[in-house]
Structure 1
Amino acid sequence: MLDIVKRAAEKAGGITKLASEIGVKHPSLHSWKQIPANRVRDIERVTGIPDYELRPDLFRPPVGASAPEVTA
């Protein structure tokens, strides 16, 4: 599972809760190679993790914010 998905699950109260909140089945979260673009806003809403941390390849941090460290 992706580290960012693990982090999001922790913030949401668990993997099952995160999946339920964003409308997917929890096994789906384990298979993601990256967070699908159409799920970023939902995860951001549920966890408070900003879009640029969830998908740094698609979103940029606001001016003055530091970019997240990208890990494989």
Structure 2
Amino acid sequence: MNELKSYFSRNRGERVRIAAALDISPAALSQWDRVPSGRVLDIERLTGISRFILRPDIYGPVSEVITGQGVSSNKVA
């Protein structure tokens, strides 16, 4: 959740936009200690923050693999 809070700090106004996209209030979004499991994929889609970072307890840790076209994140087996 720290990554999401950092995202909101860096991107003013996004909390309101994302809350609207999720059909919840910005206050409800602010109360999350961690992203609810049913909202992880939506938050990933809306923010670009990987599900592996948002909820490693569900999706597992992140392994960054350097490719010829940049960095991609893959789940570690």
| Same fold, judged at TM 0.5 (above) | yes
Question: Hey, which bits of structure 1, 4+ residues long, moved more than 4 A?
Answer: 10-13, 62-67
How big is the alpha-carbon RMSD for the aligned residues of Structure 1 and Structure 2?
A: 2.8
How far apart, in 2, do the equivalents of 1:40 and 1:8 lie? 15
- The TM-score, its normalising length taken from structure 2, stands at 0.64
Give the Cα separation in 2 of the matches to 1:66 and 1:4.
18
Q: Which residue number in structure 2 is paired with residue 3 of structure 1?
A: 2
Instruction: Tell me which of the two structures has the higher relative contact order, counting C-alpha pairs closer than 8 angstroms and 6 or more residues apart.
Output: 1
User: Number of residues paired by the alignment?
Assistant: 66
Identity %: 29
Letter in 2 for 1:7: S
Gaps spanning 5+ residues in structure 1: where?
A: 68-72
Higher strand share: 2
Structure 2 unmatched runs, 5+: 66-72
Instruction: Give the greater-gyration-radius structure (CA).
Output: 2
